[in-house]
């Protein structure tokens, strides 16, 4: 049983992948968790397994869903210590061939919903002088990603926003961290049409959801601005920071096209 400083948590995208593993980890440690997603059955399965799990079914692609989660975060009688913005998805392919409505939804979920929930979290936490905000980004945020162009762009926003928020609230007792995982085997591959990545990339390129969650929780507790799971991705992001942009574009294109 891990000893976490959070007395409560809320996790979006908790029905699968990193969000589910994180929610289960917190619940197993005795932290009351509000699990948020569209799939009620999967959330209820977590609630049935652990005490202290509250199910909040919400579609964050809708204003109704976003407002429901904001209301829960803002409830002063039931304060939330840790907010995890994990809900998001990607779309693989050349932009000119993709469904523009799907791309608009991707931006709405990855950017607009995350921003609204981040603002609500900080608005509640700063006056209390206590809180933790973990925004799930990606290593794709550090360089262009032809073939995942909109996804990489939304995650660049998430990383930049989180870095700015970290600086804004660091003197108020509130921690903000951007989690930037690399390739992690979850349902993301099927949703984003990147199942071929399992064959295209060697096993050394992959991290596990448990490894990602370990890095996420330790980093947000330590108030690190960025959390990059896996030594291979720590090296990659360090190199990306000193690589000319034209070279990053070219390298990303070669990786994507294989």
Cα–Cα distance, 94 to 215 (Å, whole number): 32
pTM above 0.85, yes or no: yes
For residue 2, is it within any domain?
no
Task: Report how far residue 230's alpha carbon sits from residue 214's, in angstroms, rounded to the nearest whole number.
Answer: 11
CA–CA distance, 101 with 257 (Å, rounded to integer): 25
Could you tell me if residue 106 is inside a domain? yes
* 113, part of any domain: yes
Q: pLDDT of 183-207, one tens digit each?
A: 877 555 444 454 555 455 556 666 8
Catalytic residue check, 157 = no
Contact by Cβ (8 Å): 250, 202: no
- Is position 4 within any domain? no
66 located within any domain = yes
- Read off the tokens for 126: 């700063």
Domain count, the chain: 1
**Domain containing residue 183: CATH number:** 3.40.50.720
- The residue annotated as part of the active site, out of 151, 157, 197, 233, is 151
DSSP secondary structure letter of residue 225? S
The verdict on residue 82 lying in a domain is yes
- Specify whether the CB–CB gap between 129 and 171 falls below 8 A: no
120 burial level (CB within 10 Å; 0-12, 13-18, 19+): buried
pLDDT (tens, 9 = 90+) of the chain, 258 residues, equals 468 999 999 999 999 999 999 999 999 999 999 999 999 999 999 999 999 999 999 999 999 999 999 999 999 999 999 999 999 999 999 999 999 999 999 999 999 999 999 999 999 999 999 999 999 999 999 988 899 999 999 999 999 999 999 999 999 999 999 999 988 775 554 444 545 554 555 566 668 889 999 999 999 999 999 999 877 777 777 766 655 665 555 555 544 544
Tell me the CA distances in angstroms from 168 to 122, 125, 156, 173, one per residue in order. Answer: 10, 13, 18, 11
| In a domain? residue 247 | yes
The predicted-structure confidence for 198-248, as pLDDT tens digits, reads as follows 455 556 666 888 999 999 999 999 999 999 987 777 777 776 665 566 555
Asked, for residue 79, whether it belongs to a domain, the answer is: yes
Which range of residues forms the domain containing residue 116?
A: 9-257
């Amino acid at each position: 049983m891990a000893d976490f400083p959070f007395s409560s948590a809320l996790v979006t995208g908790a029905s699968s992948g990193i969000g589910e593993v994180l929610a289960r980890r917190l619940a197993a440690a005795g932290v009351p968790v509000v699990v948020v997603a569209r799939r009620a059955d999967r959330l209820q399965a977590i609630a049935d397994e652990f005490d202290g799990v509250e199910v909040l079914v919400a579609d964050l692609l809708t204003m109704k869903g976003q407002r429901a989660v904001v209301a829960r975060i803002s409830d002063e009688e039931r304060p939330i210590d840790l907010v995890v913005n994990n809900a998001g998805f990607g779309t693989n392919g050349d932009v000119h061939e993709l469904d523009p409505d799907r791309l608009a939804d991707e931006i709405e979920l990855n950017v607009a919903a995350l921003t609204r929930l981040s603002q609500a979290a900080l608005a509640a936490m700063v006056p209390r002088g206590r809180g933790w905000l973990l925004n799930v980004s990606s290593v794709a945020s550090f360089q262009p990603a032809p073939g995942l162009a909109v996804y990489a762009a939304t995650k660049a926003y998430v990383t930049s926003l989180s870095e700015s928020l970290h600086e804004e609230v660091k003197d108020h007792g509130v921690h903000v961290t951007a989690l930037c995982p690399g390739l992690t085997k979850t349902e993301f591959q099927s949703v984003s049409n990147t199942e071929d990545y399992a064959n295209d990339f060697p096993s050394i390129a992959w991290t596990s959801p448990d490894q990602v969650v370990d890095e996420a929780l330790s980093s947000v507790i330590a108030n690190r601005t960025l959390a990059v799971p896996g030594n291979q991705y720590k090296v990659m992001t360090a190199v990306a920071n000193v690589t000319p942009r034209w070279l990053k574009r070219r390298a990303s294109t070669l990786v994507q096209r294989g």
